[in-house]
């Protein structure tokens, strides 16, 4: 009976993993589809409507307005595309191999039998910044360190397993189908800039088109509805909807950023058992901001640079932790 039960469990396990793999492949295909929509349809449509149908026709009557509109639009547009590119092609960050269960077991055996010379120098000379010296602030209810059974790795603080990417991601926020990538430790700044510039660009385009509509109504011109007018309405409606949605979405993420909290951690805090727990990673708004955008204000709003830290070791607010332990 035990043999039959184990055979059933293995069969279910294989079937479950197959279904999970198929689901992950479908999500990745949807991500590529969303990127294709943005790159091949939305961006060219908005660019054509704003540049060729709105700004350039003003050159004969008001060249100054034409130049200002084009300069502002192309500045936002360039930063938007650059942030989008960096968000897509920057790896969110994976858990280092030193936290692999088999590797740690090999290291423990080497240390136990005095065979440190048989392992690599990188591991034999363990430093304070090595992933092997992780002091976790997040642990299971029984006090054990968090462990991923799928990756077979010990998870550092704030790391979570992404079923779509098939691995654990450092400081995972969420998996975004619009960029076909996980948003995590290494690309969170680029994601925030992408959302910010997408919001500003859509709002700028919608406001400019709306101003043009108002001028037509004030001047009481006769409007003949054709393909040009149809494109105006489509782009205006699209940009207005995107600006409204992204304003709330981007504002929500800036709120999390200033609290040094990811979306997953925000959702977990809704759990009644964790509702009263304080956030040990909240270092204050200024330091939380610097942790993502860096210390150089000139680079805050440019999609370049790397996030401070290694994604494994996290600075915690010792005062907050002390208060939590007292409670």
Digit-coded pLDDT (tens) for 96-141: 876 665 555 555 544 554 544 444 444 444 455 555 555 666 665 5
Higher pLDDT, 3 or 141: 141
Q: Taking 90 as the threshold, does the pLDDT of residue 56 lie above it?
A: yes
Report pLDDT for 123. 45
Task: Give me the sign of the Cα torsion angle 108, 114, 118, 119.
Answer: positive
Summarize the confidence of residues 285-293 as an average pLDDT: 93
Report in angstroms the alpha-carbon separations of 31 from 35, 107, 161.
Answer: 6, 40, 18
Lowest-confidence segment of 26-40, 70-84, 281-295 by average pLDDT? 26-40
Lowest-confidence segment of 14-18, 36-40, 288-292, 309-313 by average pLDDT? 14-18
* Residue 185 and residue 171 in contact, taking contact as beta carbons nearer than 8 Å: yes
Report pLDDT for 140. 58
Report pLDDT for 216. 75
Mean pLDDT (the chain) is 79
Lowest-confidence segment of 47-56, 85-94, 98-107, 149-158 by average pLDDT? 98-107
Highest-pLDDT range among 76-85, 170-179, 302-311: 76-85
Instruction: Please state the three-class secondary structure of the chain as a single string.
Output: CHHHHHHHHHHHHHHHHHHHHHHHHHHHHHHHHHHHHHHHHHHHHHHHHHHHHHHHHHCCCCHHHHHHHHHHHHHHHHHHHHHHHHHHHCCCCECCHHHEHHHHHHHHHHHHCCCHHHCCHHHHCCCCCCHHHCCCCCECCCCCECEECCCCEECCCCCEEECCCCEEECCCCEEECCCCEEECCCCHHHHHHHHHHHHHHHHHHHHHHHHHHHHHHHHCCCCCCCHHHHHHHHHHHHHHHHHHHHHHHHHHHHHHHHCCCCHHHHHHCCCCCCCCCCCCCCCCHHHHHHHHHCCCHHHCCCCCCCCCCCCCCCCCCHHHHHHHHHC
- Assign 22 a pLDDT band (cuts: 50, 70, 90): low
pLDDT digits (tens, 9 = 90+) for 308-322: 888 888 888 875 555
176 catalytic residue (yes or no): yes
Report pLDDT for 122. 44
Q: Which residues contact 170 (CB under 8 A, 6 or more apart)?
A: 92, 93, 94, 95, 156, 158, 159, 184, 185, 186, 311, 312
- Candidates 302, 307, 213, 198; CA nearest to 260 is 307
* Residue 294 and residue 286 in contact, taking contact as beta carbons nearer than 8 Å: no
Highest-pLDDT range among 10-14, 100-104, 243-247: 243-247
Report in angstroms the alpha-carbon separations of 29 from 26, 86, 156, 179, 287.
Answer: 5, 20, 30, 11, 38
Catalytic residue among 151, 176, 182, 195: 176
Report pLDDT for 212. 84
Report pLDDT for 210. 92
- Assign 285 a pLDDT band (cuts: 50, 70, 90): very high
Report in angstroms the alpha-carbon separations of 225 from 44, 46, 229, 231, 277.
Answer: 22, 19, 6, 10, 59
pTM of the model: 0.81
Q: Taking 50 as the threshold, does the pLDDT of residue 304 lie above it?
A: yes
């Amino acid at each position: 009976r035990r043999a039959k039960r184990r055979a059933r469990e293995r069969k279910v396990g294989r079937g479950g993993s197959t279904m999970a793999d198929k689901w992950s492949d479908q999500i990745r295909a949807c991500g590529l589809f969303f990127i294709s929509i943005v790159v091949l349809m939305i961006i060219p449509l908005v660019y054509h409507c704003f540049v060729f149908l709105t700004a350039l026709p003003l050159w004969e009557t008001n060249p100054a307005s034409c130049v200002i509109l084009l300069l502002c639009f192309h500045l936002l547009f360039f930063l938007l595309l650059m942030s989008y590119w960096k968000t897509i092609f920057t790896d969110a960050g994976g858990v280092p191999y030193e936290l692999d269960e088999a590797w740690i077991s090999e290291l423990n055996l080497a240390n136990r039998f005095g065979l440190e010379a048989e392992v690599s120098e990188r591991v034999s000379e363990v430093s304070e910044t090595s992933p092997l010296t992780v002091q976790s602030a997040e642990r299971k209810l029984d006090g054990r360190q968090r462990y991923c059974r799928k990756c077979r790795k010990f998870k550092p603080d704030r790391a979570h397993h992404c079923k779509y990417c098939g691995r654990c991601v450092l400081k995972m926020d969420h998996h975004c189908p619009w960029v076909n990538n996980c948003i995590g430790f290494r690309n969170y700044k680029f994601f925030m800039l992408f959302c910010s510039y997408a919001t500003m660009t859509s709002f700028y385009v919608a406001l400019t088109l709306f101003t043009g509509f108002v001028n037509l109504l004030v001047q009481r011109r006769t409007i003949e509805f054709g393909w040009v007018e149809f494109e105006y309405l489509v782009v205006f409606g699209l940009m207005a909807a995107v600006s409204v949605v992204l304003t709330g979405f981007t504002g929500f993420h800036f709120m999390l950023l200033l609290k040094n909290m990811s979306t997953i951690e925000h959702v977990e805090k809704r759990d009644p058992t964790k509702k009263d727990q304080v956030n040990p990673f909240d270092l204050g708004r200024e330091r939380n901001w610097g942790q993502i955008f860096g210390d150089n204000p000139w680079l805050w709003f440019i999609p370049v640079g790397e996030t401070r830290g290694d994604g494994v070791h996290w600075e915690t607010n010792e005062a907050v932790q002390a208060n939590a332990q007292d409670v």
